A = this chain, B = another copy of it.
Amino acid sequence: MAPIDNPHPPVEVLGPEGVGRIVDAAFRLIEEAGLEFRSARALSILKANGADVDEATQMVRMGRDVVKHFAGLAPARIPLHARNPERDTFLGGNRINFNTVGSPPNISDLEGGRRPGSYKDLCDLVKLNHALGVIHLAGGSVVEPLDLPVVSRHLDNAYALLRYTDRPIMVRTVSAFRAEDAIEMVAIARGRDRETLCGECSLGTSFNVNSPRRVDEELLDGLMCFAENGQMVAITPFTLAGAMSPVTVAGALVQQTAEALAVIAFSQMVKAGAPVMFGGFTSNVDMKSGAPAFGTPEYVRATLAGGEIARHFKLPYRSSNVNASNVVDAQSTYESAMSLYAVIMGHANLVHHGLGWLEGGLTASVEKTVVDAEMIRAWAASLEPLDLSDDALAVDAIKGVVPGGHFFGEAHTLARYETAFYQPMISDWRNFKAWEEDGARTATERAHILAKRLLENYEAPPMDVAVNEALKDFMARRKRELAVEAA
Binding site for B on A (CB under 8 A): 8, 11-14, 18, 21-22, 25, 28-29, 32-33, 35-36, 59, 114, 210, 212-214, 241-251, 254-255, 258, 284, 286-287, 289-293, 296-298, 300-301, 305, 324-335, 337-338, 341, 345, 359-360, 362-363, 371, 374-375, 378-379, 381-382, 384-389, 391-395, 397-399, 401-408, 410, 412-413, 416-418, 420-422, 424, 426-432, 435-436, 440, 442-444, 447
> Is B246 touching A421 in the complex (CB atoms < 8 A)?
no
Q: How many subunits of this chain does the assembly comprise?
A: 2
Complex CA gap A359/B330 in Å reads 16
Q: Is the CB of B378 within 8 A of A338?
A: yes
Determine if A386 and B13 form an interchain contact, defined as CB atoms under 8 angstroms apart: yes
Q: How far is the CB of A266 from chain B (nearest CB, A)?
A: 15
24 contacting pairs across A/B (C-beta < 8 A)? A8-B12, A21-B388, A25-B395, A212-B398, A244-B406, A245-B398, A245-B407, A246-B412, A248-B394, A251-B412, A254-B393, A287-B418, A290-B408, A291-B431, A297-B384, A298-B421, A301-B382, A305-B386, A326-B436, A329-B444, A330-B371, A334-B374, A337-B341, A338-B382
Q: Which residues of B contact A36 (CB under 8 A)?
A: 403-404
Q: How far is the CA of A427 from the CA of B387 in the complex (A)?
A: 40
A290 to chain B, nearest CB (A): 7
CB within 8 A of A248: which of B248, B291, B387?
A: B387
Residue of A324, A362, A427 most packed against chain B (CB within 10 A): A427
Whole-angstrom distance between the Cβ of A55 and the nearest chain B Cβ: 15
Q: Are B392 and A300 in contact (CB under 8 A)?
A: no
A389→B249 CA distance, assembly (Å): 11
Query: Which A-B residue pairs are the 5 nearest by beta carbons?
Result: A251-B394, A337-B337, A297-B381, A333-B333, A246-B394
| A420 and B248 form a contact (CB under 8 A) | yes
- Report if A422-B297 is in contact (Cβ < 8 Å); known contacts: A247-B417, A325-B428: yes
Give bound CA distance, A406 to B245, whole Å: 7
Question: Do residues B378 and A298 form an inter-chain contact, with CB atoms below 8 A?
Answer: no
Query: Quick one: closest B residue to A431, CB to CB?
Result: B291
How far, in angstroms, from A39 to B114 measured CA to CA in the complex? 63
